[in-house]
Amino acid sequence: MNRTILIFSVFLFNFIYACEVVAIDCNACNYDCGSLNIECYAKKRACREVANTLDSNFLTYVNDFCANYPGRMDEREKIGEAINILVSTGLLMRNELDGVQIRWCKIRGNFGSYSFGASGMVPEQNKILLDVDHKGDSAIILASLIGHEMQHIRQYRYWGTSGFRCRYMVNIAAGNGFECNNKVEKDAYNFEQRICMALNLSGCNDCGGAVPEQPSPRPDPDISRWFIPILESLLY
């Protein structure tokens, strides 16, 4: 067997297939790729590159800016009260908050090339940032805000970090912004609305029904089913 032919064959297949992969599949971040499954690896790499784009362009800056923000630990008693109110609705279990950090930061404004106007955000799994403008809000208002961000933490846990960030970046790249047109945000706003209804609060943003898609374990068909026999034929 000519080793050069084998190496060139594998390279050529990778190159052609990579050129054909255009659409980003954010489920691919969770794929468990089998041996020589070129399709799977190409999609997984594309997914993670998109996720890393959001991290490097936005989330890293926010995390660095907020890490030592003055007053980030303020109003702990009120936050604790807000959590109790949120749990009392039955829409969130207390153990879902295990390991979750809630901090204050000035997050409304410009971060790099992004103009951000939200009341809170989840820059990484198990970390909630609340904008300092909400320090004066009542505990019941904070309960709905924390509930919104906890839905994002659920998304992180469900999709994985790369899967979450991929979905968010795809929505931003499509011009869907940070509110109802963004499918990731739509799910969180809908959960916030359910909390508002349970607490008889008015003025919450209701985006309409939304259910997060479930990540698939692997793509189908599996390219290795026909590609591996080709490689084996070249070896003998």
Rounded mean pLDDT, 212-226: 40
Residue 80 lies in a domain: yes
Residue 8 pLDDT > 70, yes or no? no
The pTM (predicted TM-score) of the whole model is: 0.77
Q: What is the pLDDT of residue 71?
A: 96
Point out which residues pair with 127 in neighbouring strands: 101, 124
- As given in the structure block, the two tokens for residue 52 are 């890393």
Residue 226 pLDDT > 70, yes or no? no
Residue 173 lies in a domain: yes
Residue 66 lies in a domain: yes
Q: How many domains does the chain have?
A: 1
Q: Chain-wide mean pLDDT for the chain?
A: 79
- The conformational region for residue 99 under phi > 0 = left, psi -120 to 50 = alpha, else beta, is left
**Residue 74: CB partners within 8 Å, gap ≥ 6?**
104, 135
Model confidence at 41, pLDDT cuts 50, 70, 90, reads: confident
Between 108 and 131, residue with greater pLDDT: 131
C-alpha span between 129 and 59 (Å, rounded): 12
Model confidence at 203, pLDDT cuts 50, 70, 90, reads: confident
- As given in the structure block, the two tokens for residue 57 are 């362009």
Structural element, H or E, at residue 109: strand 109-111
Query: What is the sign, positive or negative, of the torsion defined by CA atoms of 17, 18, 23, 25?
Result: positive
Residue 145 lies in a domain: yes
Q: What is the pLDDT of residue 164?
A: 94
Residue 28 lies in a domain: no
Residue 64 pLDDT > 60, yes or no? yes
Residue 29 lies in a domain: no
Domain ranges, residue 100: 62-212
C-alpha span between 5 and 16 (Å, rounded): 16
Q: What is the pLDDT of residue 232?
A: 43
Between 92 and 41, residue with greater pLDDT: 92
Percent of the chain with pLDDT over 90: 49
Cα dist from 231 to 198, 200, 221, 225, whole Å? 60, 64, 18, 11
Residue 47 lies in a domain: no
Residue 174 pLDDT > 70, yes or no? yes
Residue 11 lies in a domain: no
